[in-house]
Structure 1
Amino acid sequence: MSSSERYIPPPVSEIIASEAPMPPPRALSREEGAELIRRMNQPGGHKLVLDADEQDFIAAQPPVREPAAIDWLVRELTEAPEPGSDFYRAVCATVDFAFGRGRGPLSGEAPRNSPPTCSDIEYEESVAVRYIHGQTSHTESPLRRSQDYSVGVEHTCLWLRCATGQPPWGAPIDEA
């Protein structure tokens, strides 16, 4: 093409038709999955970009936050000096939900899986986001909650799925 010729791209239908088909999804091995969860729990692990196979693996897992961190959070909640806030109640309700001890704190729905998986937690997180942005009406959900409660549910869901490094309660973690 010379400098005086104008570039005309091919029609999108031709580009799509010429694309090679996507390879079938590959299931992660037990070792690959354990290594992925280990990396996600490391400082800065919430910044990992997961490919489709990794996302599918995580969606089918129970909460991937390491057990020691969850134990720490439960201790922090138990020792909280002022446990009466909506945010506090949301964190507690979300932890209970994530471990099969209750219904979704905002959806009011039972988890689809037993024990609940990250996909169940992510669903509850999506309900929280809709509440936060005012996209859920009272007719859509019988549970009416405050903005603080919705943010508490969202933050706890993110943390349990290792999508944020900051715990929802207790001292913040310094992450590089």
Structure 2
Amino acid sequence: MSTPHVVVVMGVAGTGKTTIGPLLAARLGVPYAEGDDFHPESNIAKMSAGTPLTDDDRWPWLDAIGAWAHSRDGLGGVASSSALKRSYRDRLRAAAPGIVFVHLTGDRELIEDRMSHREGHFMPTALLDSQFATLEPLEPDEAGVAVDVSGSPDEITDRAVEALRAFARQQPAE
């Protein structure tokens, strides 16, 4: 990538966005923004209670992440966001058109196992089914790559960096 882009690490809950995001940012030499920090308290309260968010709940959250991404245009950065639907990713791209997505993917059993072992997170495993039901994987016309989440955080980050490099090589020169 000839100019620093903002990378959004996306995927369902439990794929490791909060783990891989900072590792990826460190490898790319750019700041990291934790997507959960952009949620209003009302969203966190709903999710903590096991209630899935509605699109209306998500728009202000996505707008806040989009504003951060826009502020990093040309400087680069990594942010996490579930970005489960195409419409959510379109909203982020409207704020910062150069966003590149890293979609963390994995089978439900692995992700549920990881979620059941983490401590202190507001997202219960009970919402995993709604996350998978909502998920719309990246489409061919979307700037991004899919990265499998099996293996260690370092292995996943290595795959993400290599996938981003391969993606950049396929892009026309800016």
TM-score (norm. length: structure 1): 0.26
Relative contact order, CA 8 A, sep 6+: which one is greater? Answer: 2
- Higher fraction of strand: 2
TM-score (norm. length: structure 2): 0.27
